[in-house]
Chains A and B, each alone.
Chain A
Amino acid sequence: MNNSILDSRRPSSEPESRVSAARRHVKPLNLTRWIGATLVIFWLLVAIFGPMLAPHPVGALVADDMYSGASAAFPLGTDYLGRDMLSRILHGARYTVGLALIAAVLSSLIGASLGMLAALAPRWLDESVSRLNDALISIPSKMLALVMVSAFGASIPLLIVTAVISYAPGAFRISRSLAANIATLEYVQVARTRGEGKLYIAAVEVLPNMFHPVLTDMGMRFVFIVLLLSGMSFLGLGVQPPMADLGSLVRENIGGLSQGALAVIGPALAIGTLTIGANLLIDSLSANRGQQGE
């Protein structure tokens, strides 16, 4: 099929080359996107407004029962000290979503700017930044977290720094290859023959066109960081009590697992729905749609 487009037509109505969705697959795909978007928006809203909606203070012992089941007073039961799980999750979501979001944005920002720098910079600089990047990427993230905590103590900035060190190299890799690809495109060549400076080329010609894939990548990183954070809670890293991120909530109540306490199931489900939602959304946004069966 010819890739070019008939002069008289607008590409949006171009049938042969652009149209890809088959009718019978449109619905489920929209459904997954809808589910994904709903979950993500739900958790974003919880992160923003959750603490305001919490029926009890996050650290208050409000029940005499530990690990109690759902009741009218405590819809998600109580935790190992008798605190209201609903309130704790509403607060915890802010930390998990917030930390992961900040770390993901920072990772992508740092990764993308370094990646662009490497792609447009002289070879030696590209080479050394890439090597350093390879070196960082090869260090297991949990081990890095462990050493960092031993060296600096646990704090929110440290959590973020650790997550960024672990995930910025991946973002760098992707950004670098994206930028390198874009840099060979003709509109960049045109800008070069116009005598434009490197900075202009990077900021105006290259960056806007990396935006979408970098955003998708950031979504993936967000998911990974949520999971890294929940893994780190096992190593005793997390936000300061009485707050707890979702991973720490699972961790601190894991003793209730044997009795099937809601206190474990609740935050675990929260992590699950958050990551699955984000994944579904990213998948459906970046996937090609539909397929014709045989």
Chain B
Amino acid sequence: MTNKKNPPTILSESEQSARIHEAMRRGMSRRDALKTFGVAGMFAASTGGLLGSSLGYASEGTSGTPQRGGRIRVAAHAASTSDTLDPAKGSTAIDYARHEMFYNGLTEFDERLIPQPALAEHFETSDGGTTWLFTLRRGVTFHDGKPLSAADVVFSIGRHQDPTTGSKVMSLTTQIADIKALGSQQVQITLNSPNIELPVILAVSHMKIVPEGTVDFSKGIGTGPFRCQEFSPGVRSIGVRNDNYWREGRPYLDEIEMVGISDEPSRINALLSGDVQLVNEVYGRSAERIELSTGHAVKSVNSGNYTDLVMRVDQEPTSRPAFVEAMKYLFDREQIKRAIFRDYAEIANDHPIASSNPYYFGDLPQRPYDPDRARHLLKQAGVEGARLPVVASPAASGSEDMAVLLQQSAQQAGLNLTINRVPSDGYWSNHWMKHPLGFGNINPRPTANILLSQFFQSSAPWNESGWKNEQFDQLLTLSRAEPDQAVRKQMYADMQTLIHEHCGIGIPVFINTIDGRDKRLKGYDRTIPLGGFMGYTFAEHVWWDEA
């Protein structure tokens, strides 16, 4: 499909995402986030496999024996003066990647997005998820030499609850009723209600552990594989190898410099000219350029990200079912996949579950591109020949081009769409879900359940189209409690069908996340499907092979 060398990774059923916070950033209220989380927690409990001690580290992959030494420069797609080394405030790829470099969490995601012990050597819950005991790894020291202790963990997690911290994931921590140190190596966390997914939450990059009492985060003092040598927001950061890193033999590189290049062609040029060795956010149409270069490769990951057409049910004419259906027939999905994403995408069927997800319902007939059918439906909806604005923005990746293609096919069906492009600045708060016809972009969620709960449940604040379907809501609630995998799978199939047929959301394709790298950068085959840069965790895993 997309990347010959790196076959698409099988995604774990718990398709979780550290980027949950990304959504938080988009304006989710404290209360709503909490609600969402509660739901997700129940689901997680049923998947099992969350309790455990150190399972050993993931395999090294296929790219040979790691070597020590070397220095690379990495360019992310954005950097600005609001860059921060405060894990609680991270908001862009470059922030997350730096936080993964300089800090560790109690837990971390593996390739299947299952939380594995990190700074916590061991974690357990004695009462089904209300009281948790985390036992810390011994002999871990911060970059300034101070040994890791339970007090640091208490501080690091507790600070999210203080509104003046400005944490991006504050809502996730309001469920913590109490956090206390039991001696220097154990931390006990008590929740308001049971939540088996606490280790998942603690694996997100915002939950990294910092020394107790840290006020000035610009030094980047953590326990991570790299020490921060220089950090100037919006300019660059330099991390040098932490020789005292607790994970034996890691990291491999001597030094990593991180910069931001917002202009995509410039980013690609910098990679190809050898000025940087790793970039993220490569457009599909640039991927070929990188592939053509003998010294470079792309890594494309399908993590379930999608840009969707939002048709509000509470506004005209998007409330008319025939109109909604017509619009779905107007997506020339093959063309979108080929022309906009250069096949770095997967055709979707107007529901948010990608084929790699275990709950994916493959028997649902693919909705074709059928302008005649659409014309008929539009006539039925009484909007034939109407003129409608559709809002697109660079903020929802690919939405402008999708809008153009949609406009073309709509014309064939006798519908006149006018595109209203708005700046990405402020798009999520001012435009998203505010217009009858617009675009959204949804990042992958940790689990299918979270995804459906956040974006399709009637009561969900991010129910993009304002879709209300009792049957769906019931299925969703039931599925969380359903112990039988087969039955549950059927429930998911039903939900996907409901969305596919009735929801005011059109999902033409799932978009791959593409990184570009210098081929001498090895160890990049590990895939954590949370986003680019190997789910932001590349620093610890890659090495430089000059040969």
State the Cβ distance, B269 to closest chain A Cβ, in Å: 8
User: A237 — nearest CB in chain B belongs to which residue?
Assistant: B423
A154 to B265 Cα, complex, angstroms: 23
Q: A61-B339, A236-B394, A255-B286 are in contact. Are A81 and B404 (CB under 8 A)?
A: yes
B384-431 residues with Cβ-Cβ distance < 8 A to A are 392, 394, 400-401, 403-405, 407-408, 411, 418-426
Out of A81, A154, A241, A258, name the residue touching B289 (CB < 8 Å): A258
Q: Is B68 an interface residue (CB 8 A)?
A: no
- Is A80 a contact partner of B421 (Cβ separation < 8 A)? no
Q: Is A153 an interface residue (CB 8 A)?
A: yes
Q: How far is the CA of A257 from the CA of B403 in the complex (A)?
A: 25
Chain A, range 134-190, C-beta contacts under 8 Å to B: 149-150, 153-154
Interface: A242 (CB within 8 A):
yes
Nearest A residue to B339, CB-CB: A81
With a cutoff of 8 Å between Cβ atoms, the chain B residues found around residue A64 in the complex are 338
Beta-carbon nearest neighbor of B418 in chain A: A240
* B285 interfacial contact with A, CB 8 Å: yes
Any chain B CB within 8 A of the CB of A19? no
Contacts A236-B394, A241-B392, A242-B419; A61 near B285 (Cβ below 8 A): no
Q: Chain B residues near A241: list those with CB within 8 A.
A: 392, 400-401, 403-404, 419, 421
- Contact, CB under 8 Å: B420 / A240: yes
Minimum C-beta distance from B317 to chain A (A): 21
- B265 with A257: CB separation less than 8 A: yes
Chain A contacts with B in 256-271, Cβ cutoff 8 A: 257-259
Q: Which residues of B contact A61 (CB under 8 A)?
A: 335, 339, 405, 408
> Does B392 lie within 8 Å of A66, measured CB to CB?
no
Count residues on chain A whose CB falls below 8 Å from chain B CBs. Answer: 22
**Residues on the B chain within 8 Å of A154, using CB:** 421-423
Given contacts A61-B335, A154-B421, is CB(A242)–CB(B407) below 8 Å? yes
Q: Is B340's CB within 8 Å of the partner chain A?
A: yes
Chain A residues with CB below 8 A from B401, complex form: 81, 241
On chain A, the residues within 8 Å of B286 by CB distance are 255
Which residue in chain B gives the minimum CB-CB distance to A235?
A: B423
Contacts A81-B404, A242-B407 supplied; 17 other A-B pairs, CB < 8 Å: A59-B405, A59-B408, A60-B408, A61-B339, A61-B405, A64-B338, A66-B339, A81-B405, A149-B423, A236-B394, A236-B423, A241-B392, A242-B404, A242-B408, A255-B265, A255-B268, A255-B283
Contacts A/B (CB < 8 Å), 14 sampled: A59-B405, A61-B405, A81-B401, A81-B404, A149-B423, A150-B425, A153-B423, A154-B423, A236-B394, A240-B421, A242-B404, A255-B265, A255-B268, A257-B265
B residues neighboring A (CB under 8 Å):
264-265, 268-269, 283, 285-286, 289, 335, 338-340, 342, 392, 394, 400-401, 403-405, 407-408, 411, 418-426
Chain A residues with CB under 8 Å of chain B are: 57, 59-61, 64, 66, 80-82, 149-150, 153-154, 236, 240-242, 254-255, 257-259
